[in-house]
Amino acid sequence: MEAKPKIVLFQCQWCLYSEPDQQWVENDLPKSMHLVKVPCTGRINTLHVLNAIQGGADGVMISGCLPEKCHFKEGNLSAMRQQDEFANLLDYVGYEKERIRFVWLDLQDLGRIQKELTAFEAAIAELGPTQNLATRTPQAIRGEHA
Amino acid sequence: MPEIKEKITTEIKRLLDEGLVDVVIGFKKEESPLRPQPAFFRKVDDLADLEYNGLCQNNLANYLTRYPPETRIGIVVRGCENRSVNALIVEHQHPRENLFLIGVPCQGIIDIKKIIAEVGEEISEFNEDGDEVILVAQGKTHTFKRHELLHDSCLRCVHPNPVSADVVIGEPLPEGDPEAIRETVEGFEALSKEERYAWFKEESERCIRCYACREACPMCYCTECFVDNATPRWTESDISPAGTQAWHLIRAFHQTGRCTSCGACERACPMDIKMTYLTDKLNKDMYDNFEFVAGMECETQPPFASFNLDDKKRFVV
């Protein structure tokens, strides 16, 4: 693939404890990655994920807090159940489920998010651009097409 | 079949006479014997119209959510309808004490589309005799074996008997084979990625977005559906590929752990779109991962309404 794969990162606003990582995600994310900050991974509806895919994303990454460390006690657990099953359903109709990845981040993991994103980008680049699942008519996001 | 109809009538008459319920939901005759319609009996006099046979297509649990919780409802339930009612009770859509379930073990629903394909739509008489279905069309009598005309989802039915009815009318039937659904799903999973997508594309993109499947489904009771929502607009609401694909995926996904495989969605579909292969897959996963079958009792919350630290952890990196 010539162009870099487009990745949408859904990030729980509580999971990145370390200041430099948070700064990097907010300010220095590569152009091919799109950040969506959410109050908790439990807030992520499967419609958000499907919208990202149909909007032209090649991969979706969800980063949340460790199972026992959710800010809202249990949001990330129900999120995992739903997103996991949704990925299975998409896989069932012919979309690769490797394109959706869930990552738990911990307090000690300085620089982990960069590593995860690089690895994910490489995995998606190997899979190539999405073939299965139709994309929406492009909508302008902040004046440019996402 | 006529004797079962008699018994149902007697039971409903008793309920209405004794004032145990305000309304009874059942089926009534229509001009064409092919299409009995849902009916709401409040008076004993109306019961002359009552109908019960294999042509009753609707899932009557669908009408439960249209009454306020204090209404005492009697309802004629077959196996799948009983499970739908249970699933609705779990979601607090109606209190169990205000429901009276008249259970009927179900021999399966006959697919009108199969009859029309065989003998046309001009049916003047319809009779069931044990395993045989006798039709009179344009003066000629046709006899079919019941399983030749059954709806696809009824051929795969696992629980034909009501699971928590207050009164059961008729003899219990043997349980179905759960392997039938499993084999269908696993057969589909065994296909290549491209073949699966081609099938999904073919099925979903025929959709004309009439939402008959949503209206027929007892579990689709949201006052505002995600496809009707204009701000934010979640999916394209026309018949574009992206819009129809999103509708079919999300409609099925919203049924995860709630669908009772009654097949009402497929029977309602004017475009003859297969939909149960999606919900069957989700049901199978719910059983494999959480040992959950929707509607078997009215206590346990569906898997997506609860959580557990011991969940299988594919996603955890």
Average pLDDT (A52-75) is 86
List CB contacts (< 8 A) between B226 and chain A. Answer: 47
Quick: pLDDT tens for B98-128. 999 999 999 999 999 999 998 888 888 888 8
Residue A81 has pLDDT above 90, yes or no: no
Average pLDDT (A75-79) is 81
User: With contact defined as beta carbons under 8 Å apart, do B159 and B87 qualify?
Assistant: no
Distance (Å) from the alpha carbon of B301 to chain A's nearest alpha carbon: 13
User: With contact defined as beta carbons under 8 Å apart, do B72 and B96 qualify?
Assistant: no
HSE-up of residue A66 (Cα within 13 Å, Cβ side): 8
**Domain range A7-129, CATH architecture:** 3-Layer(aba) Sandwich (3.40)
Task: Determine the Cα–Cα distance for residues B209 and B196; give it in Å rounded to an integer.
Answer: 22
pLDDT of A18: 74
Distance (Å) from the alpha carbon of A119 to chain B's nearest alpha carbon: 12
pLDDT of A12: 87
List CB contacts (< 8 A) between B289 and chain A. Answer: 85
The DSSP H or E segment spanning B278 is helix B276-290
Token pair in block for residue B86: 């249970």
List CB contacts (< 8 A) between B284 and chain A. Answer: none
Closest by Cβ to B242, choosing from A54, A67, A80: A54
Mutate to test the interface with B, among A61, A93, A117 (most CBs of B within 10 A): A93
Residue A122 has pLDDT above 80, yes or no: yes
A93 touches chain B (CB under 8 A): yes
CB count within 10 Å of CB B85 equals: 30
CB count within 10 Å of CB B146 equals: 17
pLDDT of B317: 45
Average pLDDT (A111-115) is 85
List CB contacts (< 8 A) between B279 and chain A. Answer: none
Q: Which of B34, B37, B47 is nearest to B74 (CA)?
A: B47
pLDDT tens by residue, chain B, 317 residues: 778 999 999 999 999 999 999 999 999 998 888 889 999 999 999 999 999 989 999 999 999 999 999 999 999 999 999 999 999 999 999 999 999 999 999 999 999 999 999 888 888 888 888 888 999 988 899 999 998 999 999 999 999 999 999 999 989 999 988 888 899 999 999 999 999 999 999 999 999 999 999 999 999 999 889 998 888 788 888 888 999 999 999 999 999 989 999 999 999 999 999 999 999 999 999 999 888 999 998 888 888 887 666 665 555 54
pLDDT of B150: 92
Q: Which residue of B has its CA nearest to A50?
A: B246
Any idea where the domains of chain A sit in the sequence? 7-129
For chain A, the farthest-separated pair of C-alpha atoms sits apart, in whole angstroms, at 42
Q: How many CB pairs under 8 A join A and B?
A: 104
Where are any strands of DSSP class E within chain B? 23-28, 37-41, 50-51, 73-77, 99-103, 123-129, 132-137, 140-145, 167-168
B308 touches chain A (CB under 8 A): yes
pLDDT of B65: 92
Number of continuous H segments (helices) and E segments (strands) in chain B? 11, 9
Residue A145 has pLDDT above 80, yes or no: no
Distance (Å) from the alpha carbon of A12 to chain B's nearest alpha carbon: 15
Task: Determine the Cα–Cα distance for residues A25 and A17; give it in Å rounded to an integer.
Answer: 12
B295 touches chain A (CB under 8 A): no
pLDDT of A106: 76
Distances (CA, A) of B201 to A132, B76, B192, B204, B248: 9, 37, 14, 5, 10
Closest by Cβ to A89, choosing from B252, B315, B317: B252
B249 touches chain A (CB under 8 A): yes
Q: Per the CB < 8 Å rule, is B307 touching A81?
A: yes
User: With contact defined as beta carbons under 8 Å apart, do B282 and B256 qualify?
Assistant: yes
Task: Determine the Cα–Cα distance for residues B151 and A61; give it in Å rounded to an integer.
Answer: 41
Any idea where the domains of chain B sit in the sequence? 2-111+150-303, 112-149
**ipTM of the complex, rounded to two decimals:** 0.87
Q: Exposed (0-12), middle (13-18) or buried (19+): which is B124, by Cβ within 10 Å? A: exposed
Task: Determine the Cα–Cα distance for residues B105 and B174; give it in Å rounded to an integer.
Answer: 10
Average pLDDT (A126-142) is 76
CB count within 10 Å of CB A35 equals: 13
